[in-house]
Structure formats: C-alpha cells, structure tokens
Amino acid sequence: MAIEEYKNKYENPAKWFVEEVNQPYHVNRITKCIANRDYLAGRHKVLGRENCAYKGKELITRKTILNYAKTVLRFHATYLLGKKVSFSGNENTIKNFNEIYKLGQYETVDYQILDRVNKFGDAYEVVYVEDGIIKSKVLDSGDCYPVYDDRGSYIAFIETWTDVFTNITFYNVYYPSYVENWNNDGGYLHMEDSKINVCGLPIHYHNFNDMDYNFGVSMLMDIKPIMDDLEDILSKMGDAIYINSLNPMPVAVGQRIESTIPADATGYVMNLDNGDYKVVSTTMDYNTIKLYLDNIKQMLNDIACIPSVLGSSTNIANISEVSMKILFHMANINADETKKWLNKGFQERFRRFQMILKMQGTEVSNDVEVVYNVNMPVATTEMVSNLKAMRELGAISKKSVMEKSDLITDSVAELKRLDEENGASGNVEKDKERA
C-alpha cells in the first residue's frame, strides 16, 4: 500500500499523522517505553510499599532498589559492541567504509542502537550528510512512530515531541523521498518546512518479538518481574532484621510490683513473685532464606544470559579458553541472535552509504559483511599460539593475525611500521654489502 492510499484512512489526509500517533497500538508501545525509562531512572515497584505503625510510631518501611538491570543491559551492549566492528569484502569498499566510520563516529552510533533496542525494543537511525561527511543520529525511541501498512511494508515515519517550556508540539514526518516539519506554534497546526530526503526513511532496528513482527520487545520485560520479587524480599528482610532481631520486645511475666527505680541505676535486679523475664526476638531460618535468594539470583542470571562468575558468586582461577567459552555460552547465544537483526539494519545502512558515495562520484560494491569482535575474556598466550600456528600453515594473512590479536589496536599502522622497518633493515644490509 502506498502512503497516499494509507492517508485516506483518516478524516483529514493532509494531517493524517496526528491521528496516526494516537492509535492504540502506538500509545501502548510508547507507554511501555516510558515505563522502562522510569524503571532505569530508579522508580521501581518496591517504592509503593506502605509504611506501618510500630511501638506507637510510624515505621518507614525499607524500599531497597537494585539497579542490576542496568548492569545486565550494559554487559550485553559491551559484550558484542564494546570493541568496534570490522568489515570483510572488497578492499576498496572496506577502505571507504572505514573512513566513514571514523569520521562519523559510528562506533558510538552502533553502541547506542544496541543499547536502545535492549532497553526499549526498538531503535531508529537517521543517515544524513553534513559538510560532506556521512553521519547518523539515533532518535529517541519514545518519540518515534514507524508506519507499516496492512501487509507489513514500512511506508512512512513520524517523530513527534512537545516542548515542556513552550508547550509547542513538533512533528517531523518522513516520506521515502522528502520530509515535512510541522508544529502548532501560534495555536494551530501548520507546516513549517519541507525538504528533499535523499537517504530515505529512518532505519528501524528491532529484535525478535513473537507478539508483533514489526516491532521489538525490551529485555527489561524478562528481568523486571524477578527484580521486583528480589527487591521486595530484601526490603522485608531488612525490616524483619531491624524490628524482630535487633530491636526485640522485652516481656515480663508475673505479679506486677509498684516501685520506683532511679533513672541512673545500674545493677538492680527485680524479683517477681512466681514470675519470669525474657527478651522475645525472632530467629530467622538462615538456610531457607539463603536457598530462596540463591535460587532467585541464579534464575535472574540465567534469564539475563549473564555468567554467574560476573556477579562474584563463584571463584575461578587459571581456566582455559574452552572453559571460558562454556561459562559465556548463554551470552554467546544471545549475541548470535542479536547479530541477525543488527545485520539486517546494517545492510540497510550500507545501501545508504553506497547511494551517497555514488552521488559523490565514488563507486563501491555491495558485498560488505560485518565482523563482530566479541568482548570476551581470552587467554592471551593461547590466542597468540593459535594465530602463530595458523600463520605457519599459511591459513591466515599477516593483517588478519593483527586484526584478531588484542595486543594490536591498529593493524594498518602496524603493517606500515613493519614495512618501514623492513625497508630500513634492507638498506643497512645493502650498505654492508657495498662496504
């Protein structure tokens, strides 16, 4: 379905985007996005615990907040894209793409995209040209409304927000070949500007979602219920320790004796007729509590695909690279799935690069693939030994050895230095022969 036909679904086709952003499925998605943003800001369910009365006074109950979700999201983003990606394919195209990535700071852009998808389920990238340099901007997921027709085709895009100071609402409406800028400054909605858009619609990145194939789902949806349970039990345990164990209730049993004891008295003993004196406190079942907490923490790590060793719950030392890969197996599974939907968006980005470079007079191929450098701990000695064996067998080039090694950060510069050293040593040998 073309966008012109899609507009006719609404009463006012010229301002169709106003009704589009108010559709229930958009409102529901943006509401979840804002809820996740509030959760990451520290507004958790445990803050809703009610206070109570204790010994005639109001007791402010504990509301323990654990921002472990941030650690999980940060881990997965840095695990896959903590190190910049590299490319394989045509040498000339790779050289051009490396230059674009360097000038456009695409290492940061890639990280932002993965971070937004993990947090909100969707991310949106706008490719543009500024002063002859190809750049990208990652839009705020809470302001974005991609438009899909009944067949799932991506036909338009709406970005809208309201300025909190002026209360003016802005709309950037993207079409395949142009962009319209609208706002309601002055009390009525009008078009401010319209310009050609050579880069097409913003690129929509999203992970796999069984409920809606056009949109993603946040990783927080799996983590929040477990974190809410963990925060609730820890808060209640804190109250129980303070009230029942550290602040017990004295109980005197027997005939009451009316007498006065000086306030600064020390060492007095009260003898009660057929009485008893004791301090009542609650003894917690340590093993039961520990079993519950250990299991819920392990469940959290399993669902979040994080190795338990990262939470300092396991002591490890002198393990091999194979053992390390086993520990990071679930993280690798999650990374492999992430690569699939990231590659889909990256290939769309590369098509934009190819189109812009062609307009600038540079022809590049379309066979470039992304190579991810996973940020997993490795045994350096074992890695170097394996690369050396492959090099001796002639199964890998010198440049690839440098790219795979964590000891070398810039393979191009290192090869240049080696050539300079070899050239200098060659001149020395020739001088010796002449002498």
Looking at residue 373, its pLDDT comes to 86
CA distance 384 to 405: 7
Please tell me the least confidently modeled range out of 54-58, 71-75, 250-254, 425-429: 425-429
Instruction: Tell me the average pLDDT of the chain.
Output: 85
SS3 for 371?
strand
Which residue has better confidence, 176 or 379?
176
CB 109 within 8 A of CB 123: no
CA distance 299 to 301: 5
Task: Give tens-digit pLDDT for 234-277.
Answer: 888 888 877 777 666 666 677 666 666 666 666 666 666 666 76
Residue 369 has pLDDT above 60, yes or no: yes
CB 342 within 8 A of CB 114: yes
**Quick one: the chain helix, strand, coil %, rounded to 5?**
50, 15, 35
By the 10 Å C-beta count (0-12 exposed, 13-18 middle, 19+ buried), 421 is classed as: exposed
* In the chain, % of residues over pLDDT 70: 83
Task: Give tens-digit pLDDT for 130-178.
Answer: 998 999 999 999 999 999 998 889 999 999 999 999 999 999 999 999 9
Looking at residue 52, its pLDDT comes to 87
Residue 282 has pLDDT above 70, yes or no: no
Task: Give tens-digit pLDDT for 8-31.
Answer: 999 999 999 999 999 999 999 999
Looking at residue 192, its pLDDT comes to 93
Closest CA to 332 of 288, 375, 387, 276: 375
Residue 419 has pLDDT above 90, yes or no: no
pLDDT band at 228 (very low <50, low <70, confident <90, very high): very high
Residue 12 φ then ψ, to 5°: -120, 90
Looking at residue 379, its pLDDT comes to 63
